[in-house]
Each structure stands twice: as C-alpha cells, then as structure tokens.
C-alpha cells in the first residue's frame, strides 16, 4: 500500500507500507491491503506503520485520513516531536 503523511508545511512520509494504524476520533483502527474505502477524522495520537525497514511511527495532533484503492492519504494538522 502507498502511504503519504502530509502537514500544511511539508510531506512527512511517503512510501510503501504493509499495514498502518491510526488514532481515529472514535477509537484506533488498522488498515491492511485491500481495505474498504474510508474517510475518518483523526484524534491526537500515534500513527504507526510497517515498511520493509520495520515499524515506524509519528504522533499527530489531529487531521483526516482517506483510504482508497490501496492508497492512504493522511492530512495531519501537525506532527509532534
């Protein structure tokens, strides 16, 4: 799956992932290959995902995630250090 994490300032991450987990506004959820299309609001919390290099994560301060056709687009308000 192709994942992009974008803030108003920059692209934080662009790459291929095998899975991703998100802090949804109504609870956390995971996206796997061939997931049904969805759009969800994000709460403050960690986005974690697995690449060929292993597990990675970023903490976001809210935003929106869209999943469609094995493409995941995250529009984050900001990524916290």
pLDDT at 67 over 70: yes
Q: How far is 3 from 73, CA to CA, in rounded Å? A: 6
- CA–CA separation, 78 and 30 (whole Å): 21
Contacts of 12 (CB under 8 A, 6+ apart): 5, 6, 58, 76, 79
Q: pLDDT at position 7, please?
A: 97
Q: What is the pLDDT of residues 45-62, one digit of tens each?
A: 999 999 999 999 999 999
Which strand (E) or helix (H) includes residue 1?
Answer: none
Domain count, the chain: 1
Given a contact cutoff of 8 angstroms between Cβ atoms, the answer to whether 60 and 77 are in contact is yes
Report the mean per-residue pLDDT for the chain. Answer: 97
What pLDDT was estimated at residue 60?
A: 97
CATH number for position 43:
2.60.15.10
Where in the sequence is the domain holding 19, given as residue range(s)? 2-80
Give yes or no for residue 81 having a pLDDT over 90. no
């Amino acid at each position: 799956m192709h994942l992009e994490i974008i803030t108003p300032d920059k692209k934080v991450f662009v790459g291929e992932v095998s899975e991703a987990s998100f802090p949804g506004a109504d609870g956390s959820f995971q996206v796997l290959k061939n997931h049904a299309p969805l759009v969800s609001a994000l709460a403050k919390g960690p986005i974690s995902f697995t690449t060929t290099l292993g597990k990675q994560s970023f903490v976001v301060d809210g935003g929106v995630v869209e999943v469609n056709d094995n493409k995941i687009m995250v529009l984050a308000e900001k990524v916290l250090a």
